[in-house]
Amino acid sequence: MKQKTDTPIEVTSCLLPPLEEYLSCVKDIFNSHWLTNGGRYVLRLERELKNYLDAPCLSLCANGTLALQLSLRLLGLNGKKVILTPFTYVATLTALLWEGCQPVFADIDSQTLCIDPEKVERTFAEHPDAAGVLPVQVYGGACDVVTLDAICSKAGAVTLYDAAHAFGSKLYGKSLLDYGAASTCSFHATKLFHTVEGGCIVTSNQADTEQLELLRAFGHKGDDYYSLGINAKMSELHAAMGLCLLPRVGEVIAARATLCAAYDEALDVGDNLYLRRPRLIEGLEWNYAYYPVIFASPDLRQKAQVALTARNIRPRRYFHPSLSKLPYVKTPACPVAEDMAERVLCLPLWADMPGELPAEIAAIILAAMTEA
Ligand SMILES: *Cc1c(COP(=O)(O)O)cnc(C)c1O
């Protein structure tokens, strides 16, 4: 691509169903006069997601941040000390802080960019009162869940996974949303599967699901008031978007796989001195949610970013800064996360992006690597 494109190429473009399909749901919802509060569309989406993910204990909610906050309450972690990764979107941290938790960072593994179990173990040694661990299945890749769960149970703590990126990923044959005491997902418009705004919580038992139903709807059912709750319900219009998109997820993942392979080939990622890809753990069936690249130095990352921006291509620095660097948290340094945050860039990726784009973007990056 020699010229600058007129419309910027963003890191992603929201997935949409054919307008008529969505409008026919909207018409149906209008006719019913039932817009929220456990309506037919929310119930149907919940049922279809349980089937799709083979996760019988799934609860929908208004967004991925509230999914985290409700889960913290469900697991009794609010107000407690919780160990988390510094390499994630800021919502992982704000959910903790909003629930009055005391966050303690454990650094990441430089290959997977997920929380490093060894560092979690060391953090438990320094903070034996930590009641939980909140790892992130970053980019839809997976943490070392087996080691983490073992360390956690030894410490008498619970694991809550922020699996906001993990929709459609599978680990050891089951959904990556089906690990830990609970896993949360985000259905935000920019995510692989979405409901415009939305999210879900997957747990391992029906009692949790019932508790979550109360937590997300003011703590009452009809005229019976049981507990403290908040409003974290999903509306019918949001659920309708999810129902229109869910049947397309298979194709979406397949298309993303093809585009990622095109990037891999054009960037020669197996044998490139300037950059590498994060490592996926053994046993993972990845959802191709993002296309992150780790440059050999911050300077090379900067060169790539400048060259792409000059052509109106806008990769994103997911995830920069390392949350350990935020002005409103006080924490020891996390050298690996802080280093990775300076070197990582997510390249544009969405299911129906033009097939030639990965090669063009790769060419711009490769040319930039050797510029003075
Ligand atoms: C998107 C995201 C969230 C927040 O989800 P929302 O639905 O936008 O509230 C939380 N954690 C991570 C890692 C995310 O990427």
CB–CB of 101/79 below 8 Å?
Answer: yes
Paired sense of beta strands 158-162 and 170-171, if any: unpaired
Shortest-distance atom of ligand 1 to CA 199: 7
Q: Measure the CA–CA gap between 52 and 43, rounded to whole angstroms.
A: 14
* DSSP type of residue 115: B
Asked if residue 136 has its Cβ within 6 Å of ligand 1, the reply is yes
Helices and strands: H and E segment counts in the chain: 12, 15
Is residue 117 in contact with ligand 1, taking CB distance under 6 Å? no
Please say if the pLDDT value at position 2 is more than 70: no
Rounded to the nearest angstrom, the distance between the alpha carbon of 25 and the centre of ligand 1 is 26
Compute the distance from residue 92 Cα to the ligand 1 centre, in Å: 7
Residue 5 banded pLDDT, cuts 50, 70, 90: low
Amino acid found at 330: K
Tens-digit pLDDT profile for residues 320-340: 999 999 999 999 999 999 999
Return the residue matching tokens 């997601």: 49
Per residue in 47-85, pLDDT (tens digit) is 999 999 999 999 999 999 999 999 999 999 999 999 999
| Token couple for 360 | 């063009």
Return the best residue to mutate from 11, 12, 89, 195 for the ligand 1 pocket (most ligand atoms within 8 A of CB).
89
Beta bridge partners of 83: 104, 133
Residue 288 alpha carbon to ligand 1 centre in Å:
17
Mean pLDDT within 299-314: 98
Which residues, in sequence order, are CB contacts of 289 under 8 Å at separation 6+? 139, 140, 165, 166, 167, 168, 169, 191, 192, 256
| Residue 358 Cβ < 6 Å to ligand 1 | no
CA of 297 to the centre of ligand 1 (A): 28
Strand partners, 158: 132
Q: How far is the CA of 372 from the centre of ligand 1 (A)?
A: 38
- Predicted confidence (pLDDT) at residue 286 exceeds the cutoff of 80: yes
* Per-residue model confidence (pLDDT) at position 6: 79
pLDDT at 76: 98
* Averaged pLDDT for residues 274-287: 97
Average pLDDT over residues 326-355: 96
* Residue 60 Cα to ligand 1 middle (Å): 14
What count of residues does the chain have? 372
Band of pLDDT at residue 4, cut at 50, 70 and 90: low
Q: Ligand 1: which residue has its CA nearest to atom 5?
A: 64
Name the closest-CA residue to atom 6, ligand 1.
Answer: 64
| Pocket flag, ligand 1, residue 12 (CB < 6 Å) | no
Residue 367 CA to ligand 1 center (angstroms) comes to 34
Please check the confidence at residue 345 and state whether its pLDDT lies above 70. yes
User: Ligand 1 centroid vs 213 CA: distance in angstroms?
Assistant: 21
Average pLDDT over all residues of the chain: 97
Contact 254, 310 (CB under 8 A): no
Q: Is 89 in the pocket of ligand 1 (CB under 6 A)?
A: yes
The residue-averaged pLDDT of 34-41 equals: 96
Q: What are the residues whose beta carbons fall under 8 Å from the beta carbon of 148, sequence distance 6 or more?
A: 115, 117, 120, 133, 135, 159
Q: What's the CA-to-centroid distance between 343 and ligand 1, angstroms?
A: 22
Q: Confirm or reject: Cβ of 267 under 6 Å from ligand 1.
A: no
The answer on pLDDT for 140 being more than 70 is: yes
Ligand 1 atom closest to residue 63's alpha carbon, by position in its atom list: 7
- What average pLDDT score do residues 228-233 get? 97
Cα(352)–Cα(355) distance, integer angstroms: 8
Q: Which of 65, 161, 169, 323 to mutate to test the pocket of ligand 1 (most atoms within 8 A of CB)?
A: 65
- Whether 63 is in the pocket of ligand 1, judged by its Cβ within 6 Å, is yes
How remote is the CA of residue 337 from the centroid of ligand 1, in Å?
19
Our answer on whether the CB atom of 199 is closer than 6 Å to any ligand 1 atom is yes
